[in-house]
């Protein structure tokens, strides 16, 4: 596979200037067929990266503590359904729904509902206790995030994990480049440049003026996390 020139390496001054503002660029994985060998390799890389960042562990812990989760959990950009499988095992009574452009993953437990389609179309008629997004919202530009925020009215809580757009996260990403495939070498740095700094995501989603209680944090492993719930 041919990777765009310069996609995996930028000088320090250029990288710092790029990080000042979000830069949303296409990711290669989004354009590959599900069964493409490079896509399969990249999804394996993403499982490893999610593990290193502790993303699914954090999401599962936070969801379990939210009283509104009893009404159901929706995960957008659910991918292979790994988080939903984890919740299905630990929370057998919790209603679970996954939404993704990809078809329903093989061997997903029957009790997990799968909605294949565009997230904006699906959320227009969706409702539930908790809406979850893991490494998903950074794919959208600011106007799309505003539109996304307008569709949150039917949920009581939000649990969001995204890349933290920082020099530390970029440096850590570069350290991982020798250990991942060519698609991930491109997409990982693109994801960080499209990530968020503190305050950006709540503002774009309209959480700061929409009756939400909110907690936002960053981690040394490159994540920005937002937990929000209604009064």
Return the CATH number at 48. Answer: 3.40.50.150
* Per-residue pLDDT band at 26 (split at 50, 70, 90): very high
Is the pLDDT at 11 greater than 60? The verdict is no
- What does the alpha-carbon distance between residue 216 and residue 200 come to, in Å, rounded to a whole number? 10
Mean pLDDT score across all residues of the chain: 90
pTM for this predicted structure: 0.88
Whether 40 shows a pLDDT value over 90: the answer reads: yes
pLDDT tier at 6 (50, 70, 90 boundaries)? very low
In a domain, 2, yes or no: no
Task: Examine residue 87 and state whether it is found in any structural domain, yes or no.
Answer: yes
For residue 186, give every residue at least 6 positions away whose Cβ sits within 8 Å of its Cβ, in sequence order, or none: 3, 4, 7, 8, 27, 28
Contacts of 103 (CB under 8 A, 6+ apart): 34, 116
| Domain membership flag for residue 27 | yes
Quick one: pLDDT at residue 2? 42
Range of the domain at 51: 12-230
Would you say residue 9 has pLDDT above 50? no
- Reported as type and span, the H/E element at residue 86 is helix 82-90
What does R_g of the chain's alpha carbons equal in angstroms?
17
Domain presence at residue 156: yes
Mean pLDDT of 109-133: 93
Residue 183 lies in a domain: yes
How sure is the predictor about 201, in pLDDT bands with cuts at 50, 70 and 90? very high
Q: Please, which pLDDT band fits residue 16 given cuts at 50, 70 and 90?
A: low
Answer whether residue 181 shows pLDDT above 70. Answer: yes
What is the predicted pLDDT for the residue at 17?
60
Has residue 196 been placed in a domain? yes
Pairing relation of β-strands 223-230 and 155-163?
A: antiparallel
> Quick one: pLDDT at residue 176?
94
Residues 6+ apart with CB under 8 A from 63: 69, 73, 87, 91, 130, 132, 159
Length of the chain: 231
Number of domains in the chain: 1
What sign does the CA torsion over 99, 112, 38, 195 have? positive
For 126-152, what is the mean pLDDT? 94
Q: What is the pLDDT of residue 14?
A: 54
Is residue 112 assigned to a domain? yes
In a domain, 3, yes or no: no
């Amino acid at each position: 596979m041919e990777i765009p020139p310069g996609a995996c390496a930028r000088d320090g001054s250029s990288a710092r200037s790029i990080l000042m503002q979000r830069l949303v660029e296409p990711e290669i994985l989004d354009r590959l067929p599900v069964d493409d060998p490079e896509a399969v390799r990249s999804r394996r890389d993403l499982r490893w990266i999610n593990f290193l960042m502790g993303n699914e562990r954090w999401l599962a812990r936070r969801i379990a503590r939210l009283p509104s989760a009893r009404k159901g959990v929706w995960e957008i950009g659910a991918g292979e359904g790994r988080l939903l499988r984890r919740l299905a095992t630990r929370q057998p009574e919790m209603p679970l729904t996954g939404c993704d452009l990809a078809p329903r993953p093989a061997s997903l437990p029957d009790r997990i509902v799968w909605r294949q389609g565009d997230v904006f179309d699906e959320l227009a008629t969706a409702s539930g206790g908790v809406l979850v997004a893991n490494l998903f919202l950074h794919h959208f530009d600011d106007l799309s995030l505003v539109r996304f925020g307008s569709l949150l009215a039917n949920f009581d809580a939000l649990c969001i994990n995204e890349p933290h757009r920082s020099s530390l996260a970029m440096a850590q990403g570069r350290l991982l480049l020798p250990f991942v495939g060519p698609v991930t070498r491109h997409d990982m740095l693109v994801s960080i440049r499209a990530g968020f700094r503190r305050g950006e995501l709540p503002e774009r989603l309209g959480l700061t003026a929409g009756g939400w209680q909110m907690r936002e944090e960053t981690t040394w492993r490159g994540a920005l996390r937002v937990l929000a719930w209604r009064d």
